[in-house]
Structure formats: structure tokens, C-alpha cells
């Protein structure tokens, strides 16, 4: 049989088997392709997860475990001029919770894990330690989020007590707390910070960038239940302290000024009072007191109105205190001099208004010194008419009225002195005697410091310098100086102002200071009506002066807001000047004048005056009739 016939004779099942083998091979090939595709996808996913997207997943994992706590930098201290601390920072205990520890959680395989701690039990344990209601604490523990404050800036001992409880989900961190060791001393000047350490008031706000340190950072790792991971990352970036601030304030003088401000407010039932002490020639503010006072450590218990520094934020009509500037301008312009005699009528009419003296006088021939001594409105207006509007305005602005003093204190007022082209027919006479113009106490004090400094104005300052990490004082820039009037003019005004205190007809007898010759001017002005044009029935009593008269060292300015029933500056404000000036001169160890009193005697007199004031204040507090 030929070969083709043999092939044709092969059984059919052999051919079928070969066909089945081919089909099986195809199937295996497809399975292999599918397997390779799946493997490629898995490998690609592994590469993506472990290589390409690895940083992202690592960050996600870290964010789920990590807790970052910002650590505030220690705020710089504030000192008085002699290094006594007025504001500092201590480490306090802050108690916090991780609410995740107090709620159930679901595991990846769907199991529900109970909370790590019971909120009600933990709250009951914490309540007596934190002096908080247990229900309030429990509400914080079961809230949303990963972090909740339970109490902030507590005493260190409280933090120790909480740690000893070893409660799951509860932590204690040290947090800076601002404290004021001198309590309410210079509270309106120093100001205060918020609970997060930011300056909110006074110099704390003004020098926020300087005092504020650089914050640090604490990074912790925690499990989903809120428990710390013992082997986890714990990274600390330390904070850096802020710069210390040294003020020009003298603690003893500041205390005397505050005591006097509070006493005069209580004695005369006044709405408030301010006392300011300036050092002649340097512009240093030795005291800046306002009453009512407040303690920045417990400011939550006080009226926010007591927080403001009245000496720079409040403005008022200066009244007769203004006359020294008007007369100085006329002397400087060569229009008159201290011994020049003027015919002073009983009244003077300007535009449609007639002006008289507080105590009506017949037409008299008075020297310029007598006009100042008697505080004559008519005589001063007559001098101002010789001066004219433009020159009066220019000199008042040169003495600092109508513009800020430049201290940069928050809320400092520039006062109110209208441009000449807005003056009324009666503006010249009223402004010349301190009406229709508004100034702050600091502006008045600085103007009198210019006269006391022989006509040279020195910008006032509150900051003496700064102290950095090296512990050395970096002095503040020297204050700017400019001449306003000649030394001859200033000295004439100095002698006239001394007569206000020592002259037989002076209005400032009660401003006399034991052991020293003093000079100054009384002022009494009605307060403008808040509801309508014109004046109210309330008054501002002022006295501004300097001592020793022969070589002025200090200026003391006093303002009493709405005293009653007595409201004259010579009766209300002048005695405050005497008390504060006596203490300040003795504290600064300024030698008494040539009248024969020793420094020790002057210091004893100041102490006696201070003790008498304290006894008087205690008597008022004990007398129910004064309530």
C-alpha cells in the first residue's frame, strides 16, 4: 500500500486527539498571558505604592500618628529704669485631652474597639483637681477632633497632680504665662497679653514684635486610640526668648503718683485722675498714673474703661494752664516782658462775647507777672490780641499742641487745635486762656518741660532701652530736641510761674513743696457737653509745674476729671502736685534749694506727707458717710 493510503487509513480518534492538544495549548497560553498581566498590574501597584507614591503614604501615615504642639517663645521681660520687674513670664501647666481615647474606633477588619478610657470616670477624677464641673470636662473629652484644652496656665502644682493620676488620653504641657509681679503698678502703661501670649494693651501691644520670642515645636506620635507610642518619634525644636524692655519709669515715683491719683479721685468723688512726672532735659517719663487703676493679673474682674492710659488717650480743655504758653509767645515776639505794666479792664468784649476774670476785678494796672499770678483772663486776652491769631497758633503748635508727642503709645491722642482758617471770631481769646482747644496731660507736661528746660523741647519717651540675650542694655535713641523760645523768654516765664505758687495773690499756694521752690500754673475748665453745643456742668481741675524753681529737674502734671463739689485746680490738683513732687524730688535725690532744708529733711517731709495722705485715705475708707 502506498504512503497516502496508509495516512488515509489512520484512525479518526488520533486526529481528534491532536486537535484537542492544540486547543489545550491555546488555553494555557491565554492563562499565562492573563497571569502575566495580573502580575504586571500587581508589580506596577507595588512600584507605585512603595516607590512612586511612597513619600505621600509616609506623610499620610505620619499625619495620622503625629501630633504637633507649638511651643510659644518666652516673652521678653519689662523692667523699670532700675531693673525692677514689671512684667515677666513663668511656666504654667496646661491640661489637654485627646478625644480619640474616649470614643470607640473601627479596625481595618471591621471590629469595633471600645474606648481606651471612660470619659465620665476621667472627668470625675479631674474635676476637683482642675476646679471645673465634671460635666463640662466630660463634654470636652467626648468632642470631635484630636485635641482639646481642659484648662490653661494653671499653677505648676496642678500639672504635677494631673500627671500623678496617669489618665489615658490626658496630657500636661508647660506653657508660658504672663504675670505682673508689681500687681497694678503702671498697669495702664505696661498693659497686658492675651492667654496665647499676644500683646493686647499698653506697651505689651506697642512692642509686640520686640517682646515676642520665636516659637518652638514639639512633635509626638500617637496610636489611633490617642495613646502615646513609646517608641515613636518625639522631636523638639526649642523656642527662642524675646527681647527685654527697660522703661524710664521709676517704681517709687510711679507708686507715689498712683497713690495720689487714687486718693484725689476718692476724696473729691471724681470720675478719674491722671498724674504724670517728667524729667527735665531728658524727656524721661518717671511716672504715668491713672485712676481708677486695675491689676493686669486679674483684669477679668475689672471694667475695661480702667485699662486705658488717661494721660495719653484722654484730652481736655487745659484752662488757665494754657496762659503760660500764650504769654511766653508774646515775650518771645518782643511784645512785652515780665515787668511790663498793662491796663487791665474789668472785662473785655471780643466779637459777641464778653470775658471777665474768675473773680471780678476793677480796671487795674498790673504787670505781666501779676497777670500770670492772678490768672487774669482779661489780661491774658489783651496780650493775645497783640500777638494775633497766626502767631498764637504757631507757638502753641511749637509747644506740642495739635500733634502727637511721638511716644507711639497705643491710642495716644494728638489733641485738638483747629487750623487758623477755621477759627471763629472768639477763637483767639478762648484759645489763649485754654478753651476751645484740647490737649492730653502728656502734651501739657511736655510743654511745661520745654519752659523748664530754658525753651528747648525734648521729645518725651517711655522706653529707656532693650536687653538682648547677652544681658547688656542697648540704650534707646536719644530723643529729638528743638528750640521753641529763647532761654531768656523761658526764664522770665519760670519766674512768673513761681509767683503763682509763692506770691501773695497766687492761685497755686497749695502746690508749695517743703524744702523746694516750686513753680506752676493752676487750671479750671468746664467740660464740653456730650449731647449738645456748649458746656456741661462738669469741670476739669489741673495743675502743671516744676521744681526746684531755680534749677528745674522735674515736671509734675495733675488732671482731675469731674471733682465735686470743689472743682478749682488750685484746691483740687495743686495739693496732689505738692505731694507727688516732694516724693519724686526726694526719691531722685535732688538737693533742696538754698532755703536751708537738707535732703534728709526733704525726704522726711515727703514721707510725712505720704503717711498723712495714707491716714487720710484710711479715714475716708472707714467713714460710712463717704460711701
Instruction: Give me the active site residues, please.
Output: 320
Spatial strand order in the sheet of 272-279: 285-291, 272-279, 554-561, 535-547, 519-528
Are the beta carbons of 122 and 171 closer than 8 angstroms?
no
Are the beta carbons of 445 and 555 closer than 8 angstroms?
yes
Q: Which 3 state secondary structure label does DSSP give 466?
A: strand
Spatial distance between the Cα atoms of 242 and 197, rounded to a whole number of angstroms: 12
∠ CA 330-333-338, nearest 5°, is: 50
Q: What is the DSSP string of 163-208?
A: HHH--TTEEEEEEEEEE-TTTTTTHHHH-EE-TTS-EEEHHHHHTH
Residue from 609, 604, 567 nearest 586 by CA:
604
- For residue 627, list its beta bridge partners: none
Spatial distance between the Cα atoms of 301 and 295, rounded to a whole number of angstroms: 9
Spatial distance between the Cα atoms of 327 and 500, rounded to a whole number of angstroms: 14
Angle between helices 389-398 and 377-387 (to 10 degrees): 100
- What number of other Cβ atoms are within 10 A of residue 293's Cβ? 21
How many alpha carbons fall within 13 Å on the CB side of residue 541?
A: 28
Are the beta carbons of 87 and 178 closer than 8 angstroms?
yes
- For residue 274, list its beta bridge partners: 290, 559
429 vs 87, 211, 276, 361, 507, CA distance in Å?
47, 47, 28, 18, 21
Q: Which 3 state secondary structure label does DSSP give 409?
A: coil
Length of the chain: 627
List of residues 6+ apart from 256 with CB closer than 8 A: 287, 579, 580, 583, 584, 587, 610
Q: Which 3 state secondary structure label does DSSP give 355?
A: strand
Q: What is the DSSP string of 502-520?
A: HSTT-S-GGG-BTTB--EE
Q: Which helix (H) or strand (E) holds 143?
A: none
Burial 349-385 (b: 16+ CB within 10 A, else e): ebeeeebebeeebeebebbbbbbbbbbbbbbbbbbbb
How many alpha carbons fall within 13 Å on the CB side of residue 405?
A: 30
Residue from 529, 475, 469 nearest 282 by CA:
475
Spatial distance between the Cα atoms of 163 and 141, rounded to a whole number of angstroms: 17
* Residue in the block written with cell 532701652: 465
Spatial distance between the Cα atoms of 529 and 547, rounded to a whole number of angstroms: 35
Q: Which segments of 222-284 are extended strands (E)?
A: 235-237, 244-247, 272-279
Spatial distance between the Cα atoms of 257 and 616, rounded to a whole number of angstroms: 16
Spatial distance between the Cα atoms of 405 and 449, rounded to a whole number of angstroms: 13
Amino acid at each position: 500500500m502506498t504512503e497516502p493510503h496508509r495516512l488515509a487509513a489512520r484512525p479518526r480518534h488520533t486526529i481528534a486527539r491532536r486537535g484537542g492538544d492544540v486547543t489545550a495549548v491555546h488555553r494555557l497560553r491565554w492563562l499565562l498571558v492573563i497571569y502575566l498581566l495580573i502580575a504586571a498590574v500587581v508589580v506596577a501597584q507595588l512600584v507605585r505604592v512603595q516607590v512612586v507614591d511612597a513619600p505621600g503614604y509616609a506623610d499620610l501615615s505620619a499625619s495620622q500618628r503625629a501630633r504637633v504642639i507649638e511651643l510659644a517663645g518666652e516673652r521678653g521681660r519689662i523692667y523699670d529704669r532700675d531693673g525692677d520687674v514689671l512684667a515677666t513670664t513663668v511656666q504654667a501647666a496646661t491640661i489637654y485631652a485627646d478625644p480619640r481615647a474616649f470614643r470607640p474606633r473601627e479596625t481595618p477588619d471591621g471590629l469595633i474597639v471600645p474606648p481606651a478610657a471612660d470619659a465620665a470616670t476621667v472627668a470625675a477624677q479631674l474635676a476637683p483637681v482642675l476646679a471645673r464641673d465634671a460635666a463640662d470636662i466630660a463634654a470636652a473629652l467626648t468632642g470631635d477632633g484630636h485635641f482639646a484644652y481642659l484648662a490653661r496656665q494653671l499653677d505648676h502644682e496642678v500639672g504635677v497632680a494631673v500627671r500623678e493620676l496617669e489618665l489615658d488620653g490626658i496630657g500636661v504641657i508647660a506653657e508660658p504665662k504672663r504675670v505682673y509681679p508689681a500687681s497694678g503698678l503702671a498697669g495702664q502703661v505696661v498693659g497686658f497679653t492675651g492667654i496665647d501670649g499676644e500683646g493686647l494693651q499698653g506697651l505689651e501691644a506697642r512692642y509686640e514684635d520686640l517682646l515676642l520670642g520665636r516659637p518652638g515645636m514639639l512633635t509626638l506620635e500617637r496610636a489611633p486610640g490617642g495613646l502615646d507610642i513609646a517608641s515613636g518619634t518625639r522631636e523638639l525644636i526649642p523656642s527662642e526668648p524675646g527681647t527685654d524692655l527697660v522703661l524710664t519709669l521709676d517704681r517709687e515715683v510711679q507708686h507715689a503718683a498712683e497713690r495720689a491719683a487714687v486718693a484725689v479721685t476718692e476724696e473729691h468723688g471724681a470720675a478719674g485722675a491722671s498724674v504724670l512726672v517728667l524729667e527735665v532735659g531728658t524727656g524721661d517719663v518717671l511716672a504715668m498714673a491713672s485712676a481708677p487703676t486695675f491689676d493686669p493679673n486679674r483684669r477679668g474682674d475689672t471694667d475695661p474703661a480702667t485699662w486705658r492710659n488717661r494721660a495719653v488717650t484722654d484730652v481736655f480743655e487745659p484752662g488757665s494752664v494754657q496762659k503760660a504758653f500764650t504769654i511766653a509767645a508774646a515775650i518771645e515776639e518782643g511784645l512785652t516782658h515780665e515787668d511790663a505794666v498793662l491796663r487791665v479792664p474789668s472785662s473785655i468784649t471780643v466779637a459777641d462775647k464778653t470775658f471777665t476774670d474768675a473773680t471780678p476785678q476793677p480796671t487795674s494796672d498790673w504787670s505781666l507777672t501779676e497777670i500770670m499770678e492772678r490768672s487774669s483772663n482779661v489780661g491774658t486776652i489783651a496780650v493775645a490780641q497783640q500777638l494775633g491769631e497766626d502767631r498764637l497758633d504757631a507757638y502753641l503748635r511749637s509747644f506740642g499742641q495739635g500733634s502727637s508727642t511721638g511716644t507711639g503709645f497705643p491710642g495716644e491722642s494728638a489733641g485738638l487745635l483747629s487750623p487758623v482758617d477755621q477759627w471763629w471770631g472768639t477763637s483767639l481769646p478762648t484759645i489763649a486762656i485754654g478753651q476751645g482747644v484740647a490737649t492730653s496731660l502728656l502734651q501739657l507736661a511736655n510743654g511745661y518741660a520745654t519752659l523748664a528746660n530754658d525753651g528747648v523741647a525734648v521729645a518725651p519717651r517711655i522706653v529707656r532701652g532693650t536687653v538682648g540675650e547677652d544681658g547688656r542694655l542697648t540704650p534707646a535713641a536719644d530723643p529729638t530736641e528743638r528750640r521753641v523760645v529763647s532761654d531768656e523768654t523761658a526764664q522770665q516765664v519760670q519766674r512768673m510761674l513761681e509767683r503763682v505758687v509763692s506770691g501773695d495773690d497766687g492761685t497755686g499756694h497749695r502746690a508749695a513743696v517743703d524744702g523746694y521752690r516750686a513753680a506752676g500754673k493752676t487750671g479750671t475748665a468746664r467740660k464740653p457737653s456730650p449731647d449738645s453745643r456748649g458746656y456741661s456742668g462738669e469741670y476739669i481741675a489741673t495743675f502743671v509745674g516744676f521744681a526746684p524753681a531755680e534749677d528745674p529737674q522735674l515736671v509734675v502734671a495733675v488732671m482731675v476729671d469731674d471733682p465735686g463739689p470743689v472743682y478749682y485746680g488750685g484746691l483740687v490738683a495743686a495739693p496732689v502736685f505738692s505731694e507727688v513732687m516732694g516724693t519724686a524730688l526726694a526719691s531722685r535725690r535732688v538737693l533742696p534749694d538754698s532755703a536751708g532744708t537738707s535732703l534728709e529733711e526733704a525726704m522726711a517731709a515727703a514721707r510725712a506727707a505720704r503717711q498723712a495722705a495714707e491716714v487720710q485715705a484710711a479715714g475716708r475708707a472707714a467713714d460710712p458717710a463717704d460711701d
